[in-house]
Amino acid sequence: MLTVELPYPPSINHYWRRVGTRTLISRTGRRFRRQVMAILAGEGVEPLAGPLAVDIELYPPDRRRRDVDNCLKSVLDALETAGAYHDDCQVVRLAIAKCHTVPGGKTVVRISEAATVAPLTADPKRKKRKCLKCGQWFDSSGPGNRICRPCARINAGIRITEKELRSQRGGKRRNGEPMASDGDVDTR
């Protein structure tokens, strides 16, 4: 994860410059890029790999009308040029917020690794809940499902092996490494 504070970005209309059929980065755009490069170099930033989530907070310098989406591309392009990541197509989740004004304006960017993107339509009832019997977190299907599967099986008098218990609850770990199995033990 990387959090950096950058200057307020130029809008897309000031960042790029059209010359005939070509689109070039403008003087303003190059200046912003250089500032972002200097800040990231100063922090010793190495490019992040893989899918990323980017959160952008804009603190405008004054109360002039501004559309947040006009600043998105310039921030992402400058971050790519400055080596925050290899390519802005790595961004799989993007959020931008317009915050209160600060003298001179600024941007705060947080970039984090995003292994999975939870769809906005994901069922909010399905989540990790604590088992009322054993106290372990488990993948619950809804507020009415408060007993984990191994406990439900024990309640129902179904035999369950230690190996099954481990695979359903996630085995015990020491320093992140799974601990050696001592065979299947009937826990009943």
Contact region for Zn ion (CB under 5 A) — 2-10, 33-41, 128-136, 155-163?
Answer: 128-136
Q: Is 14 in the site for Zn ion (CB under 5 A)?
A: no
Q: Is 133 in the site for Zn ion (CB under 5 A)?
A: yes
Dihedral over alpha carbons 129, 122, 118, 106 (to 10 degrees): -100
Angle between helices 69-81 and 27-42 (to 10 degrees): 60
Contact region for Zn ion (CB under 5 A) — 7-15, 51-59, 65-73, 131-139?
Answer: 131-139
Among 39, 94, 96, 134, binds Zn ion (CB under 5 A): 134
Q: Is 148 in the site for Zn ion (CB under 5 A)?
A: yes
**Residue 92 · residue 23 · CB < 8 Å:** no
CB of 23 to Zn ion, least distance (A): 59
Give the span between the Cα atoms of 55 and 109, in whole angstroms. Answer: 6
Give the span between the Cα atoms of 103 and 106, in whole angstroms. Answer: 8
* Residue 85 CB neighbours (<10 A): 23
CB of 136 to Zn ion, least distance (A): 6
Q: Is 154 in the site for Zn ion (CB under 5 A)?
A: no
Which residues of this chain interact with Zn ion, rule CB under 5 A?
131, 133-134, 148, 151
